[in-house]
Structure formats: structure tokens, C-alpha cells
Amino acid sequence: MRANDDLRGELLALVSALKSHVAAETDSCIPVSRLRLKGTGPSRQEGLTARDAAEAHPGTAAAGRRGASGLDGVRRELGDCARCPLHRSRKHLVFGEGSARARLVFVGEAPGEEEDRQGRPFVGRAGQLLTKIINAMGLEREEVYICNILKCRPPGNRNPQEDEIAACEPFLVKQIEAIDPEIICALGTFAAKTLLRTEAPISAIRGRFHDYHGRRLMPTYHPAYLLRNPDAKKLVWEDVQKIMKIL
Ligand code: SF4
């Protein structure tokens, strides 16, 4: 009788431990190894996306506007842009880089000095931190797409002005349409406020998904802010874990 009671106690303890383990797995982020690879299943639960349609019907209008060819078209349309005064002081126009079929797009504010010099987004100290964040998500820079609201550096890294945003943002919208990502991550106050048309501070809107033309948008702190405020890294990690859960 005593042996039966001991066995029953052990079984109850085992079941309890198993339940805790399952609950922890459910609450935690999805391991990177379980991230769905592109092309191995539907990219959205709602059904066929424009991307799926383009894949299913190559050569159609849907296909022509998406992916690398769509992105190339946006770049050609932008050309040697002089639509706002920033063209006068730039060394390079920083269009953006990464996968033309990325499921995740990072959008920052504008190129800084190093980005202007190299013609590539997020390559300075803040960019190196962004690369670490991407790697910590189990991804490579080449698997996501990285760009900014403005494609030319404001002199002295001053804040972008309204006329500059008005001239440049339509090309960002076209880039996003061409890439057709599932999630956009807005980096910093300026990008989040501009994309979401809000005056709310980043501290009030970060950490939850917002709607951006039918796509999920996660605002979080800019890597440059993290360089000045390392304590905020844990908040950014919380935010990107929510992105990883969706991906
Ligand atoms: S910031 Fe944008 S709109 Fe202004 S010149 Fe550069 S590419 Fe053109």
C-alpha cells in the first residue's frame, strides 16, 4: 500500500512538472529552429497574400510589382533624386538593403554620417548594434530588409523636416509594397511617429503591434538610443521576441 502511495506521488509530481514545462514552452518565444522558412507554407493565416499570388502567377502584374523586380523599379523611379533639398548635401543616396522578399523590414529615421559615406543603411555603431539584435533573433542581415524614412542624410543629423518626409516617404511605401513583409519594425521615435501618424512618444507605443496599411508594425527604441541607454536593451529584446513569435 505504501509502495502504491509513493508511486502515485511520483506520477503526480511528474505530471505537474510536465505541465509546467509545456506552459513555459507556450509562453516563451518560438525557438528560431521552428521559424517557418520562406516558401514552405502560407505566409499569413488569412490565406493567399499578394506574394503568394505573384509566386503562383509569375509574369502577371502582381508578380511584376513584387520582390526584386518591384524593388528595382522603385529604385529606378527614385533615380538621382533631387525631390527635396537634402540631395545637395548628400554623398550617397541610401536606398536600403537586404532581402527583396524579407518577412521583416526595419525602418529607421535617416542615414547618418557613416551611412552617407558608404551608401548603406545602419552601418555605423548603431547599425552594428542592430546587426547584433538581428543575429540574436536568429536571422542574418541579408534575410531582413533595412531602410529609413529619408534616403539622404540631413546635415548634422538634424531632425527630418516635413517637406523632406513628404517628398521621400512615398518611396518607402513603394518599397514596402514591393517587399510585402509580414512585419515592420519601426526603430525610434521619429520612424514610429512618422509611420503611425502619431505624436505619442515611443515609450507609450512600443512593445505592441500597430496597424500599418494592413501590416503589423512594432515600434521599438532606436539602436542609437540603446548606445546611450543600455538599460533599454531588455525592452527592445522584449519587443523583438514578440516579432519572433509571429515569424
Ligand atoms: S531625401 Fe528622399 S526625396 Fe529628398 S533628395 Fe533624398 S531621396 Fe530624394
56 to 50, 68, 136, 209: CA distances (angstroms)? 10, 16, 33, 29
Amino acid at 188: G
| pLDDT above 90: residue 116 | yes
Task: Give the Cα separation of 235 and 219 in Å (integer).
Answer: 11
Put simply, whether the predicted model's pTM sits higher than 0.85 gets the answer no
Determine the 3-state secondary structure of 172 from DSSP.
helix
Confidence category of residue 226, pLDDT binned at 50, 70, 90: very high
9 to 23, 138, 151: CA distances (angstroms)? 21, 41, 65
Q: Is the CB of 134 under 6 A from ligand 1?
A: no
Residue spans of beta strands (DSSP E) within 118-229: 145-148, 183-187, 210-212, 215-220
Three-class DSSP labels, 54-96:
HHHCCCCHHHHHCHHHHHHHHHHHHCCCCCCHHHHCCCCCCCC
- List residues bridging with 219 in a β-sheet: 186
* pLDDT tens profile 176-216: 999 999 999 999 999 999 999 999 999 999 999 999 989 99
Confidence category of residue 5, pLDDT binned at 50, 70, 90: low
| pLDDT above 60: residue 61 | no
| pLDDT above 70: residue 112 | yes
Task: Give the Cα separation of 34 and 150 in Å (integer).
Answer: 35
Q: Is the CB of 150 under 6 A from ligand 1?
A: yes
Name the closest-CA residue to atom 3, ligand 1: 168
Confidence category of residue 97, pLDDT binned at 50, 70, 90: very high
Q: Is the CB of 172 under 6 A from ligand 1?
A: no
Give me ligand 1 centre to Cα 205, in Å. 27
95 to 31, 92, 134, 151: CA distances (angstroms)? 32, 9, 20, 6
| pLDDT above 80: residue 222 | yes
| Residue whose C-alpha cell reads 548594434 in the numeric block | 129
Q: Is the CB of 224 under 6 A from ligand 1?
A: no
Confidence category of residue 101, pLDDT binned at 50, 70, 90: very high
Res 67: pLDDT: 87
90 Cα nearest atom in ligand 1? 6
Average pLDDT, the chain: 82
Pocket test for ligand 1, best of 93, 157, 162, 169 (most atoms within 8 A of CB): 93
Q: Is the CB of 83 under 6 A from ligand 1?
A: yes
